[in-house]
Amino acid sequence: MTHKQQPIGTGFTAASTVDDVLAGIDLTGKNVIVTGGHSGLGLVATRALTEAGASVTVGARDTERAEATVAGIERVEISRLDLMDPASIDAFVARYLESGRPLHILINNAGYPAPAEIVRDARGYEAQLATNHLGHFQLTLGLHPALRAADGARVVNTTSGAQRMSDILWDDPNFTGGGYHPGLAYAQSKTANVLFTVELDRRWADEGIRAFAAHPGVIATTSFNSAVGVESQRAQGLIDEAGEPIIDPERGKKTEAQGAATIVFGATSPLLAGIGGVYLHNSEVSELNDNQPAPTAQEVTADVVSHSIDPQSAQRLWALTEQLLDR
């Protein structure tokens, strides 16, 4: 399989932060949407992008909480968005399109923390697939006119190194036949993020819309990792005996500013001009690595693997997603 997963020599490292990747970049006049941009990595990205001059719309299910969190940050507005509710997504899209603003950057960042027992949306779809992939797919396609109007736009899908752990469960992506496991469901949704990136870029690159999948690394303070409990976090090497996060970016364990760097890099860096449809890691285009060892408590490897960037799988997932969304 030919692929585009070739590092380009950005000069950034695993320890680079949002400030590092945004140095010298002026986003004045640029419009950005960040789903989940009021917490965790999304909040770090929102703050950094506004400090560079951008105007950011944050999509959030709990608008009161989001308003309180972003209070004091200039050029930020909150718009209600529930990624498990197709009507909410359509309403969000309609509000944005009615504003007449072009959309220069869309960061599909919000995620559903892996529940121990399966959770389904009103359609019966598994919550992680519904939120992490299906909702963002519907949102992105709805915003296509605004992205096209930007005359050069980027879509960044926040993914995870967990993509290496599972392909799409083609026969039963929603676990209707049982066999649910939270980590497996999460891995599938993160693979879907990468495959969506590959096919989106293939379809829209000629319109000046480029897509990137960004792996931020492992951040102990995110809702996904903090939800597993203290003992599990210790066993995974995410926190020490005192309960403090272990920061070791070279081994994949990062601060939020380091993790959000790759997301912001994908959204803004001129080093990515002419590139798209790739998985980013450590503010660099990841190499393809199908032989990386399993993650351990000491080190988390997270390069992209073949099943996550397979172009035929990407087209197959697009068709499956349209079928699930009945669109």
One-letter-per-residue 3-state SS of the chain = CCCCCCCCCCCCCCCCCHHHHHCCCCCCCCEEEEECCCCHHHHHHHHHHHHCCCEEEEEECCHHHHHHHHCCCCCEEEEECCCCCHHHHHHHHHHHHHHCCCCCEEEECCCCCCCCCCCECCCCCEHHHHHHHHHHHHHHHHCHHHHHHCCCEEEEEECCHHHHHCCCCCCCCCCCCCCCCHHHHHHHHHHHHHHHHHHHHHHHHHHCEEEEEEECCECCCCHHHHCCCHHHHHHCCCECCCCCECCEHHHCECCHHHHHHHHHHHHHCHHHCCCCCEEEECCCECCECCCCCCCCCCCCCCCECHHHHCHHHHHHHHHHHHHHHCC
pTM score, whole prediction: 0.94
C-alpha–C-alpha distance, residues 169 and 15, integer Å: 34
For residues 181-209, b (16+ Cβ closer than 10 Å) or e, as one string? ebebbbbbbbbbbbbbbbbbbbbbeeeeb
What pLDDT shows up at residue 162?
93
Q: What is the mean pLDDT of residues 84-107?
A: 98
Q: So what's the pLDDT on residue 312?
A: 98
pLDDT single digits (tens) 268-297: 999 999 999 999 999 999 999 999 887 765
pLDDT band for 2, please (50, 70, 90 cuts). Answer: confident
- pLDDT for 251: 77
Q: Which fold has domain 18-325?
A: Rossmann fold (3.40.50)
Predicted confidence (pLDDT) at residue 319 exceeds the cutoff of 70: yes
- Boundaries of every domain in the chain: 18-325
Active site residues: 186
Contacts of 7 (CB under 8 A, 6+ apart): 284, 285, 286, 287
pLDDT in tens, 177-207: 999 999 999 999 999 999 999 999 999 999 9
**Taking residues 217-225, what's their average pLDDT?**
64
The answer on pLDDT for 244 being more than 80 is no
For 144-177, the pLDDT digits (tens) are 999 999 999 999 999 999 999 999 999 999 999 9
Looking at residue 293, what is its pLDDT? 81
Distances, alpha carbon 7 to alpha carbons 178, 281, 295, in Å: 40, 10, 22
Q: Is the pLDDT of residue 30 over 90?
A: yes
Name the band, by pLDDT with cuts 50, 70 and 90, for residue 235. Answer: low
Quote the tokens at residue 238. Answer: 């995410």
